[in-house]
Structure 1
Amino acid sequence: MSDASDGDDVSDEGEEFDPEADEEREIGREMVDQSTGLGSVLAHTYRGEMDQATTWRSRLDQTTTWAVTVMAAILTWAFSSPDNPHYILLIGLGMLAAFTGIETRRYRDYDVYRSRIRIIQQNLIANALDPSEGVAHSDWRRKLSEDYRRPTLKVPWGEALANRLRHVYLPLFGIMLAAWAFRVSVFTPDQSWLASAAIVVIPGWAVGAVVTAFSVAVVAAAFWPRERRAKGEFREGEFGEWKD
């Protein structure tokens, strides 16, 4: 008897968890039919992930607010008097670049929690609401488990930078560059723009070349073709479907 019992214990311990098995991945279907302990745990987990994502989203918005505030202050001071140096606008470009770097890093952290939320929404909540469609990812439990065991960033730096440039900072850079061009040309009609663009011993053509190169680099970083790694959210559809 003891040998048979021991054999059964070994057999049970040797069973491996298969997250792609129908009975393991269809937690959403079980949540409709009956209350499960794992479903309750994931509900609390989802609430926690939403709180983390909201916190990081607010940090992104704070960075943007500071960038716009600093830019407005610099623009106001630069055009308040013809005697104020134009290179304060170039310093503003450098500060915008710093804010872009900060927001890029924060966006990568925010995307970690957003990606987890989308995994749960696609495979648990959507499946609970309509079990007939099944899950979006057959191994979603393994993916989520691995990310909790070893959290990793999901979005490369270049993609995160392009995202923040296209959504926020590219227009801000455009305003600052246009203000600088206006400041060294139209704002000082009594001398050429090359003379106005000079900074102490740095000739105007060199300053213009650096500004042009910087502008090209910003546009290239924003629109350089690359494979999308971030999990998508919104998709185009029929706008009147929800009103029917």
Structure 2
Amino acid sequence: MAVERVDDGDRPSEESVGDVSSGLTALYRGEMDRVTTWRGRLDKTTNWTVTIIAAVLTWVFSSPDNPHYLLLVGMITVMTFHLVETRRYQRYDVWRARVRLLERNVFAASIDPENRADHDDWALELGTDLRRPSIKMPFVEAYARRYRRVYLPLQTVLLVAWIVRLTVFSTDQDPFGTAGIVGVPGEVVVAVVGVSYAVAAAVAFWPRERQATGEMYDRDKEGDWKP
């Protein structure tokens, strides 16, 4: 009985397979280090925001003579930190997306060989992104995600503190009169604060198609999980 000979040149050698495997492992470790680094940068921004809020609240409510507009300065500062964190979150998602790509298509397939990769072009996608890294999450989506998860509670604390400062801790019977700043009527100040919060909330909660890398809680949504 004749046995068909298979050309060994058509098969990848054990050395080449080992090199690819070790290379992907090294790549995964490097990308995980980047994810950890950028996650630390996000935490630092949030920590500085909480520190500033605590300092502003402590000083404003330490004496009735302290001006309320420092709370407005605190709001502007928090908004600025929010913008900075949004940019950092976009870059964090770049490295996180690579890690999830490797986990889904390489490590998960190695552990459970019966299940194929999510898509056949994952290697092409990874190679293209390594050659030309690109931001995958739009700025508006990153802004909305950080606002809902972190900055909405912080900004709410400042808003409530400002309202309490204008009403409970004010010697003036008219909150609008108390809200005035030098040269700016109180009505204008209140309107600007209200519009700012309304715009931020509209941007954060406006429905849009998600571009961010899938996360754990998405698995609970049957038929709506996006890798």
TM-score, with length taken from structure 2: 0.88
The equivalent position to 2:62 in structure 1, one of 80, 83, 95, is 80
| Aligned residue runs from structure 1 range 160-175, under 5 A | 160-175=142-157
Distance (Å, rounded) in 2 between the aligned partners of 1:99 and 1:48: 28
2:65 partner amino acid:
D
| Aligned residue runs from structure 1 range 1-244, under 5 A | 36-235=18-217, 236-237=219-220
Deviation at 1:190, TM superposition (A): 3.6
Instruction: String of CA shifts for 1:87-132, please: whole Å, max 9, x gaps.
Output: 0000000000011011001100100000000000000000000110
Distance (Å, rounded) in 1 between the aligned partners of 2:213 and 2:202: 23
Distance (Å, rounded) in 2 between the aligned partners of 1:35 and 1:138: 18
Instruction: Compare 93-102 and 186-195 and name the one that shifted more.
Output: 186-195
Q: Report SS of the residue matched to 2:120.
A: coil
Q: Report SS of the residue matched to 1:187.
A: coil
Distance (Å, rounded) in 2 between the aligned partners of 1:100 and 1:201: 28
Distance (Å, rounded) in 1 between the aligned partners of 2:133 and 2:60: 45
Q: Report SS of the residue matched to 1:36.
A: helix
Q: Report SS of the residue matched to 1:133.
A: coil
1:5 matched to which residue of 2?
none
Deviation at 1:134, TM superposition (A): 0.6
Instruction: Compare 46-55 and 227-236 and name the one that shifted more.
Output: 227-236
Aligned residues: 208
Deviation at 1:64, TM superposition (A): 0.3
Deviation at 1:200, TM superposition (A): 1.0
Distance (Å, rounded) in 2 between the aligned partners of 1:59 and 1:188: 39
- Higher relative CO (CA 8 A, sep ≥ 6), structure 1 or 2? 1
Deviation at 1:189, TM superposition (A): 4.5
Q: Identity, % of aligned pairs?
A: 49
Instruction: Compare 186-195 and 138-147 and name the one that shifted more.
Output: 186-195
1:241 matched to which residue of 2?
none
1:77 partner amino acid:
W
Distance (Å, rounded) in 1 between the aligned partners of 2:74 and 2:130: 40
Distance (Å, rounded) in 2 between the aligned partners of 1:191 and 1:121: 61
Distance (Å, rounded) in 2 between the aligned partners of 1:77 and 1:219: 28
1:79 partner amino acid:
F
Moved >4 Å (runs of 4+)? none
Distance (Å, rounded) in 1 between the aligned partners of 2:114 and 2:169: 66
Instruction: Compare 144-153 and 213-222 and name the one that shifted more.
Output: 213-222
Gapped regions of structure 2 (runs ≥ 5): 1-10, 221-227
2:128 partner amino acid:
E
1:57 partner amino acid:
R
